[in-house]
Structure formats: C-alpha cells, structure tokens
Amino acid sequence: MKIKIKGTGSAVPKLRVTNDDLSKLMDTSDEWIRSRTGIGARHLAVEETTTGLAVAAAKEALKDAEMTAEELDLIIAATVTADKFLPNLSCEVQSALGAKNAVAFDLNAACSGFLFALNTVQMYLENGVYKKALVIGAETLSKIMDWNDRSACVLFGDGAGAAVVEVDSETNCKAKQPGAANKSGILSMVQGSDGARGEVLRCDNRPVNNPFAVNDTKLSYVSMNGQEVYKFAVKTVPKVIEEAVKKAGLEVEDIDLFVLHQANLRIIESVAKRLHQPMEKFPTNLEECGNISAASVPILLDNINKHGMICEGKKIVLAGFGAGLTWGATVLVW
C-alpha cells in the first residue's frame, strides 16, 4: 500500500514587495539582497491571514485532486504563525472547508514543517487509520519580523501551500531502477533534529505573566545567525537527501527534481554542487516568494505541478530544513 499526492494548491498575498520597495524603507538595495540570497521580491499580507491563505491553498488542492472536503479523514497544518493560539489553524481550515469528517491538528517544525506533517500523514495512512488527508504549510511571517533588521526581514514572505494525499494501491509507476520497480507514491522519508543548536534561529513566545510573575518584556521578533544557519544547511541537506534516496533504493542520479526549502539560492546551489547534480534539477521560486518557512516546499511543489514540470513516473525529492534545528527529506514517484 503506497501513499500518493493526488493534488496540490497554493496561495500568496496580493501585495508584491520588491527589493527596491524595501530600499525605500531601510538601508538596503536590490543588489545587496540578490547577491546574498537570490531573492528579488516577496508577497506580504495586508488584509490576508494565515487561515485565509491556508483555506485558499486547500481549496485548490482539493480541486486538483478532484475530491470534496467531506471525503477528508485528516487535516494537518504546519505553521509557526497561526492566527490564534486557540482554535488551531487546522481546525479553522476544517470549519471553512466544511470537512466535518476530518481530524485536525497543527504541527510546528518551522521550515521543515510540511515535510514533518507529510511524514505524519504517511504513518496514519500506511497503517490504515485514515485514507485521505490534507497537508498544509501556511505562514504570515511578516508579523513576526523586525522591520528595522535588514539582515532578516528581507528574507521572508507570506503564503500557503497544500497537498491532498491518499492511499493508492495501484502499482503503475514507471520507475525502472533496481529497488524501485513497481513502486509509486512515497518511497522513503528521513528526518532529524538538533535542539542543541536551536538558538541560531529563534523567536520567543509570550513570557510568563500572572499575578505572581509580572512581566513587561517587549514582543520578540525573529533573530537569526545567518552564517551558522548557512553552514548547517549546506552540510546537512545533502546528507539527508542522500540517505533518503538510498533508503528508497535509488541513486541520486535517478532523481528528476529536487524540491528544496526556498531559504537562499546560495544554499540550493551548494547542495546541487555537493550532490554533483545540475541546477536544472533544482526548481526555485524564491526570486518571487522569498522564504515562507513551512509553506515554502508545498508552494514550490504546486508551482511546478501547475507548470507541467512533473508527470507520472517522475522521481522527486522534497527537502526542508530550518529552525529547531530540524531537517527532513522524502523521496516519491509522482
């Protein structure tokens, strides 16, 4: 029994903010941002919410999968920027969709969130607990940015991506490599965490504040040690990809597309070099979207799906990495 992605969807806010737009607000420039990150623009929420973006992406994914919301058994939303502490984002989406038969809960693994949520869904479905699920990555990161800190705020954007996943017992995959014959859907998943290095990318929650512990601490914003995050990513991502590919019974050369978290073009280029693979296998959208944390991978997956870059039999790696520190990779055949 294999688990397959049946449909994808995505949504970004209407407002597109270029590097030149940001240069009017802070001491930065298009050249400064592009040369360091590859980012040229990002979409920022004005009237949109995390919930609204998640619902829009979910509706697209359901339409693409030719499935109704009532058919869903499970909804998992990955986010660090839900609109509310209570109720959670996934329950808000469940209500908006009318997915009355679905169990719904959130998951926080930062930029690896979609991969962790996908793996969780995989376990539920492969063990026969549920049959059809919706996986969402959604963020409005602009609300936790310090817009006076040009080293961090220029990197991030807002948006949501979603995928409909279901049990598929068919074995019609066209993969011919040893160990992968007659398989389709998700072939392998590898995850990892290193909390000891977590402080290099952080944002504090509300402090303790009660009649016995009064606290007037100001709101916390995202802070990042860019060099340490970069070193972590370029060393860890190639290793986890190689591990996942080997676990799937494939070679790195067999992979058609590597859909990576869109954090920094330099990181993606370094991963490609370390894997000895051409950049043509590494689609990107950070030029227009920036880093959208848990939403990054599913938005890019939807982009390449909608543009006809993937078809039945294509072998794909999805990989996420970020705060926690966390990382994950999955190998699938479309």
Which residues are bridge partners to 186 per DSSP? 332
Half-sphere exposure of 295 (CA within 13 A, CB side): 34
Region 258-272: mean pLDDT is: 98
pLDDT bucket at 111, cuts 50 / 70 / 90: very high
The answer to whether the 3-167 and 185-333 domains have the same CATH topology is yes
Pick the catalytic residue: 119, 264, 285, 291? 291
pLDDT tens digits, 35-73: 999 999 999 999 999 999 999 999 999 999 999 999 999
Supply φ then ψ for residue 127, to 5 degrees: -90, 5
Pick the catalytic residue: 111, 153, 173, 289? 111
Region 189-212: mean pLDDT is: 93
41-70 b/e (C-beta count within 10 Å ≥ 16 → b): bbbbbeebbbbbbbbbbbbbbbebbebebe
pLDDT score at 52: 98
Per DSSP bridges, beta strands 15-18 and 185-193 are unpaired
> How many Å apart are CA 79 and CA 95, to the nearest integer?
18
pLDDT bucket at 218, cuts 50 / 70 / 90: confident
pLDDT score at 96: 98
DSSP secondary structure string for all residues of 200-235: GEE---PPP-BTTB---PPPP--EE-HHHHHHHHHH
* Lowest-confidence region among 162-171, 255-264, 296-305: 162-171
Domain boundaries, the chain: 3-167, 185-333
Pick the catalytic residue: 153, 261, 264, 285? 261
Residue type for position 42: R
pLDDT score at 181: 45
Cross-sheet strand order for the sheet of 2-11: 2-11, 158-168, 132-140, 74-78, 103-107
Is domain 3-167 given the CATH code 3.40.47.10 in the classification? yes
291 part of the active site:
yes
Region 13-34: mean pLDDT is: 97
Q: What is the mean pLDDT of the chain?
A: 94
pLDDT score at 85: 95
261 part of the active site:
yes
pLDDT bucket at 29, cuts 50 / 70 / 90: very high
Region 92-121: mean pLDDT is: 98
Which residues are bridge partners to 318 per DSSP? 259, 330
Q: Which CATH number fits domain 185-333: 3.40.47.10, 3.30.1370.160, 3.30.365.10, 3.30.565.10?
A: 3.40.47.10
CB 97 within 8 A of CB 59: yes
pLDDT score at 316: 98
CA torsion angle for 258, 261, 266, 269 (degrees, to 10)?
-10
DSSP secondary structure string for all residues of 159-188: EEEEEEEEEE--------STTTTT--EEEE
pLDDT score at 70: 98
CB 296 within 8 A of CB 261: yes
Supply φ then ψ for residue 195, to 5 degrees: -65, -20
